[in-house]
Amino acid sequence: MNDEKKLLNVTIDGVELEVPAGTTILAAAERVGAVIPRYCYHPGLSAPAVCRMCLVEVEGAPKPLASCVQPVQDDMVVHTNTAQARKARRAAVEFLLMNHPLDCPICDAAGQCELQDYAFETGQLKTRYVEPKLVMGRDKVTPEIVYFADRCILCTRCVRFMDEIAKDPVLVVINRGQRGYIDTMTGELFENPFSINIVDVCPVGALVNEDFLFKARAWDLDQTASICPGCSQGCNVSLGTKEERIVRAKPRFNPEVNSYWMCDHGRKTVINWGAGARIEVPMARDGDELKPVDWPQALDALSEAIGNEPGRARAIVSAGASNESLFTLRRLMEELGSDGGVFRVPTGPEAELPGFPKLKLRRDRVPNAKGAELLGFQRSDAVFDSAQGHRGALFVLEDTLEGAPDGFGTNAELFVYIGTRLNPAARSADIVLPSTTFAEMAGTFTNFEGRVQRFEQALRGPGLARPWWLTGSALLERLGAGGRYRTAAEVFAALASEVSEYEGLNYEVLGLKGAGAPGSSAAATAG
């Protein structure tokens, strides 16, 4: 049988199309733009057809069919929005709302709740159910996830995520019918490094992350496409920001990297990233103390110091800095004569997601170690050793300098600290330049397999903080070393023309899903 190659004719809402055999009606309908409501169906999970929301009318079929599991047959004629289909769905919503508390005003899912949407759309504004609603209360399923049993519609997405993707079948539906609820078999809390995905898959507000509970309304958040900085996997995320804070990160679908999922570590890392005390103004040394200056003064001081020929340059960079920033620093160091730079990589235990083996919480807990390596920086466990006795120019780019030895950088002729927070060790710098976090600028990270992925600016930087590639390129222009870059895309274009691993890449090629650098293992999969 060559079923997979066979194309079937199907008519959906009057539109004829050809789909491969085995396609479900729901998937085929999506191709013609017909939106079929669904709760239990999730593209990343199996479909048990328990919610009965995706019922459609098929000509010749005695009753409406569940489109999420029904494969298309040849010459099938499907109507997704006829009176019969609508009536069937309306009845399904009415049953789901029977015991649903309708506490939308205090429910965290309001605004992103599929039940709310369809109940409103189908006009279920009054109930015919006269019995008192069943009240079941709330419980925790993990230390961080709260379960509101009343709101649950028993779609079993969370159960199936734990079964099929996490391969850790801890969740079950307990009891039957309207008394059914989700819990672990023993009632104990469970822990799994990917557990918060069950909050994402929940179509209603039954499973809620404590980190986000009552924090913000869904419609208050600004969503920005970004990359998780938690490890070298580089999960595609969309950052939810409110009032210049990152409130949450949700996975953004990318079949090559993280599918629909991401780990709990990443989500927790990214919340409030960059909040708190920051370096907000450039500072230049005046005798014994660092004096705040404005940007032109800072650049004057820096270009003057560089003009005094401090000697060859060494650097300690952070593997959390973007490719653009690292490249700009490399250019600057080449002007002075580069002695190379080092970066350190904090590590942690690895965790994998068996149902989607491409996605792991990687050992390297930084997003851009590979990118730093490709730009010629050395990975090192003892980053301070090489810099300690250095007498020339010393640059520190976004490294926290935590654990730096006493008197770090005092030997250097010129010590420039570019970063976000002023560690005591950074106070001995000659010039301190405030830079931005990944969320406060656009840029790219290169993940563990060499896949280059873009992230967009979600927040404003504090005070006068600017991305280092912006200030760095202004400085290079003053030194007469190349043009000034005004956007991250321009820096990346220059980078791609200079570094062979990035050849042929630019921001348009990368798009929102990223692309593998040629010659890397990602190139084969990215195509």
Partner 1 sequence: MPIGVKTVDRPEVESSYLRATLKGMALTFKHLVRPVTASQQYPEEKYEVSPRWRGTHRMAVHVDGRAKCVACGLCPTVCPANCIKLIPAEDENGERYAAVYEIDEFRCIFCGYCQEVCPVEAIHVGVHYENAEYSRERFVYDLERLCAQKHPFTQLWDPEDPASE
Name the minimum Å distance from CB 220 to partner 1: 7
- Residues 184, 174: Cα–Cα separation, whole Å: 8
- Residue number, 205 or 230, with CB nearest to partner 1: 205
Q: Residue 170 corresponds to which tokens in the numbers above?
A: 């801890």
Range 152-181, binding partner 1 (CB under 8 A):
none
* Kind plus residue range of the DSSP H or E element containing 328: helix 323-336
Instruction: Kindly state whether residue 242 participates in binding partner 1, applying the rule CB under 8 A.
Output: no
Residues 6 or more apart whose CB falls under 8 angstroms from that of 304 comprise none
Q: With CB under 8 A as the rule, give the number of residues binding partner 1.
A: 11
Nearest to 52 by CA among 41, 43, 60: 41
Tell which one of 123, 175, 214, 307 touches partner 1 (CB under 8 A). Answer: 214
Name the minimum Å distance from CB 245 to partner 1: 12
- Residue number, 124 or 386, with CB nearest to partner 1: 124
Burial 392-421 (b: 16+ CB within 10 A, else e): bbbbbbbbbbeebeeebbeebbbbbbbbbe
- Residue number, 91 or 213, with CB nearest to partner 1: 213
Q: Residue 81 corresponds to which tokens in the numbers above?
A: 């929005």
φ, ψ at 274 (rounded to 5°): 85, 0
- Residues 281, 425: Cα–Cα separation, whole Å: 18
Tell which one of 52, 217, 312, 358 touches partner 1 (CB under 8 A). Answer: 217
- Residue number, 105 or 177, with CB nearest to partner 1: 105
Name the minimum Å distance from CB 472 to partner 1: 38
Range 418-477, binding partner 1 (CB under 8 A):
none
Residue 241 pairs with which residues in a beta bridge?
Answer: 222, 246
Name the minimum Å distance from CB 175 to partner 1: 23
- Residue number, 33 or 105, with CB nearest to partner 1: 105
Tell which one of 86, 215, 268, 285 touches partner 1 (CB under 8 A). Answer: 215
Range 72-111, binding partner 1 (CB under 8 A):
104-106, 110
- Residue number, 218 or 479, with CB nearest to partner 1: 218
Instruction: Kindly state whether residue 287 participates in binding partner 1, applying the rule CB under 8 A.
Output: no
Name the minimum Å distance from CB 219 to partner 1: 7
Tell which one of 7, 213, 382, 509 touches partner 1 (CB under 8 A). Answer: 213
Name the minimum Å distance from CB 180 to partner 1: 22
* DSSP code at position 259: B
In which residue are the tokens 């995320």 written?
Answer: 237
Give me the DSSP letters along 60-87.
T-SS-EETTT-B--TTEEEESSSHHHHH
Residues 6 or more apart whose CB falls under 8 angstroms from that of 123 comprise 90
Tell which one of 4, 219, 277, 289 touches partner 1 (CB under 8 A). Answer: 219
Name the minimum Å distance from CB 213 to partner 1: 6
E strands in 372-521: 378-379, 393-397, 414-419, 431-434, 443-446, 451-455, 515-516
- Residue number, 101 or 518, with CB nearest to partner 1: 101
> Could you tell me the end-to-end alpha-carbon distance of the chain, in angstroms, rounded to an integer?
29
Nearest to 10 by CA among 25, 83, 85, 84: 25
Tell which one of 220, 222, 304, 385 touches partner 1 (CB under 8 A). Answer: 220
Q: Residue 258 corresponds to which tokens in the numbers above?
A: 């993280």
- Residue number, 104 or 523, with CB nearest to partner 1: 104
Range 105-124, binding partner 1 (CB under 8 A):
105-106, 110
Instruction: Kindly state whether residue 138 participates in binding partner 1, applying the rule CB under 8 A.
Output: yes
Q: What residues make contact with partner 1 under the rule CB under 8 A?
A: 104-106, 110, 138, 213-215, 217, 219-220
